[in-house]
Amino acid sequence: MESAKHRLASRLEGVSESATLKLNALVQALKARGVDVVNLTAGEPDFHVPEVANVAVRDALDAHKSKYTPVPGVLELREAVARKTNLQQPTATASTQWKAGDVVVTNGGKQALFNAFLALLNPGDEVIIPGPFWLSYPEMVKLAGGTPKILRATFEQGFKITPSQLRGALTARTRVVVLNSPSNPTGAMYSKAEFAALGEVLAQAPDVCVISDEIYDRIALSDVSFCSFLEAAPALRDRVITVNGMSKAAAMTGWRIGWSVAPQWITQAMSTIQGQSTSGINALAQWASLAALKLPEAEFAGQIETYRRRRDLALEILKKAGKLKVFVPQGAFYVFFGVGGYLRAGEDSVGFAERILEKAGVAVVAGAPFGEPEWLRLSFSTDDKQLSEGCRRIVSFLESC
Ligand SMILES: Cc1ncc(COP(=O)(O)O)c(C=O)c1O
């Protein structure tokens, strides 16, 4: 019998551990034992942090700028975030331009999302999450007391929800819709016209807020250019939270800098939540982020070109497996592929990923926790040699199935 001493809070019921972080730990343990594993699970860029960020930390240390910061972040960084967001949402008029006071700097994009769910959800409130989805969304919603409602977008529809699907999914209990473009795990991207059409549906649902997770904004790999949701649907400004950060765009994953940009009524609530939990986040990382945010876009062009080349390399090899369904990503650094044609009876992608790891020595992430039990995700955020070796191993494993 469960002892009262070990009784956990009921909010944890049905909340799972992060499957990607768990798998990464397993791969590291195998590697430490000398097993030859090609790791294609990385959820982070393999590029170095911009040197200006390292310099800014040293400067901040020398200047003793390492004390508590304001809860929502240092003013200069919030100003820079507001400027960046205004550039991405150019339809804003002077009175609707974002200002430093609309920004909360958070411990990674993750905390911005969590702050937003905590600020908006009451028990019973529903959150529409288009699937396949980044696996933390439903778990965060549950922790915040809400109910995730997955709205599945299929491979055939480009892994993007349609306006009529969204209209049909809205109920009197819907409080939030989550959007994520470019998407993790699929790399699907919404065009401005597609976002505008979703915006028109949401215009008819005035009590619904939108959380637009734009953390992969810089990594746009095809001719669909990145569109911030509010650029396409500016009329919804008073109920949209834009989430972004330095992790994917500037390879600064371990620095843990993210942010939300949102109207005052939500920003103030999120600031209160943060003030009573983590407070202002690491000061040095904030100064570093300010320096990296000032870099011109051209600084990152080489990285984007490299991602594009690696994506094409992976696709070229994977297409040799005849029964594989491969989705061509328009953004981010993942290839999502369907292995339904290869599964054993009763097997899903979790078991299949374990078999690939065991038999072929390649670590990929199962699609099940992303809402697609017959799909897998590989990351092409690794060097060409590892990537092509990993893809070749996957193909020869599939041919042996
Ligand atoms: C879609 C998506 N949103 C948010 C995050 C969280 O980013 P951060 O590392 O800045 O917390 C990730 C990280 O993997 C992600 O893939």
Ligand 1 in reach of 280 Cβ (< 6 A): no
Among 242, 260, 257, 241, which Cα is nearest to 290's?
Answer: 257
The DSSP result for 329-395, as a single string, is: -SBTTEEEEE-GGGPPTT--HHHHHHHIIIII-EE-EESGGGT-TTEEEEE--S-HHHHHHHHHHHH
Q: Is the per-residue pLDDT at 213 higher than 80?
A: yes
Tell which one of 107, 159, 180, 215 to mutate to probe ligand 1, the residue whose CB is within 8 A of the most ligand atoms: 215
**CA-CA distance, 342 to 352, in Å (whole number)?**
9
Q: Is the per-residue pLDDT at 1 higher than 70?
A: no
Looking at the DSSP bridge assignments, the partners of residue 107 are: 257
CA atoms within 13 A on the CB side of 137: 27
What structural domains and CATH numbers belong to the chain?
4-48+300-400 (3.90.1150.10), 51-295 (3.40.640.10)
pLDDT score for 2: 56
Q: Is the per-residue pLDDT at 24 higher than 80?
A: no
- What average pLDDT does range 40-48 have in this prediction? 92
**CA-CA distance, 379 to 42, in Å (whole number)?**
6
Å from CA of 19 to ligand 1 middle: 14
End-to-end CA distance of the chain: 44
* Percent of the residues in the chain that have a pLDDT greater than 90, as a whole number: 88
**CA-CA distance, 101 to 205, in Å (whole number)?**
27
State the Cα angle at 19 between 215 and 362, rounded to 5°. 95
pLDDT in tens, 76-118: 999 999 999 999 998 768 889 999 999 999 999 999 999 999 9
pLDDT score for 168: 98
Distance from CA of residue 387 to its chain's centroid?
A: 22
Place 15 in a pLDDT band, splitting at 50, 70 and 90.
Answer: confident
In 10 A of CB 12, how many CB atoms? 11
Å from CA of 39 to ligand 1 middle: 19
Among 175, 209, 224, 173, which Cα is nearest to 331's?
Answer: 224
Atom number in ligand 1 closest to CA 247: 10
Å from CA of 113 to ligand 1 middle: 9
Among 226, 383, 379, 232, which Cα is nearest to 297's?
Answer: 226
Q: Which two tokens stand for residue 357?
A: 């790891």
- Strand pairing class (365-366; 103-107): unpaired
Report helix, strand or coil for 208. Answer: coil
Q: Is the per-residue pLDDT at 257 higher than 60?
A: yes
Compute the CA torsion angle 185, 191, 194, 199 (nearest 10 deg): 90
Between residues 6 and 23, which one has the greater pLDDT?
6
Report helix, strand or coil for 175. Answer: strand
Place 25 in a pLDDT band, splitting at 50, 70 and 90.
Answer: confident
Ligand 1 in reach of 379 Cβ (< 6 A): no
Ligand 1 in reach of 43 Cβ (< 6 A): yes
pLDDT in tens, 354-377: 899 989 999 999 999 999 999 999
Long-range contacts, stretch 55-64, CB < 8 angstroms, 24+ apart = 55/291, 56/287, 56/288, 56/290, 56/291, 56/292, 57/284, 57/285, 57/287, 57/288, 59/287, 60/283, 60/284, 60/287, 60/288, 61/284
Q: Is the per-residue pLDDT at 22 higher than 80?
A: no
Contact 184, 334 (CB under 8 A): yes
Å from CA of 215 to ligand 1 middle: 6
Ligand 1 in reach of 108 Cβ (< 6 A): yes
pLDDT score for 308: 97
Least confident window among 8-12, 240-244, 380-384: 8-12
Rounded to two decimals, what is the model's pTM? Answer: 0.96
pLDDT in tens, 300-320: 999 999 999 999 999 999 999
Ligand 1 in reach of 253 Cβ (< 6 A): yes
